Amino acid sequence: MPPASAPTCPFCDLIQGAGEVSMCYEDADVVAFMDVQPVNAGHVLVVPREHFAGLDDIPHSLAMHLFEVAMELAPVAKQVAHSDGMNVVVNSGAAAGQDVFHYHVHVIPRRAGDGFDIPLPFAGSEMPDRTVLDVHAARIIAAFRDPVASRKRTERRTGERRTGDPE
């Protein structure tokens, strides 16, 4: 029996020229093109040329470059779309609403009453007691200060890994 083929990535296919795309930005590492299911006119996707599934996979410097490109495109998309506001959004993981598992940043021009919503604060949540918030903050601080986790974050940010270190 032949081995199962790896699932294809629609963004990789577009980047490699295997489909129609309305490109609005390109550099050596990043492309930006119009979303084919836009929230509003001017909805742009900023995508790394190299495949990374999500926020946990993409190198820090490349993720920062994607946001730099998004920040450059946002006011232009807003102006061209004659919109009143802007969302810059990353959905990373199925639970967060990611449906194409190639990391990307949405640049979405917004208009009052356009029907799209990212409801924050979330109506289904209750304001927790301050002690609960303090406990979560303390856990984040402790995890952030953990030397092993800190080294891994530095490696991710710089792309360097010390030889002999376990993963």
- Coil/strand/helix, residue 40: coil
Q: Has 60 been annotated as catalytic?
A: no
Q: State whether the Cα torsion 64-68-86-77 is positive or negative.
A: negative
Per the CB < 8 A criterion, the answer to whether 107 and 44 are in contact is yes
CB neighbours of 118 closer than 8 A, spacing ≥ 6? Answer: 87, 89
Q: Which of 60, 65, 104, 106 is catalytic?
A: 104
Catalytic residue numbers read 104
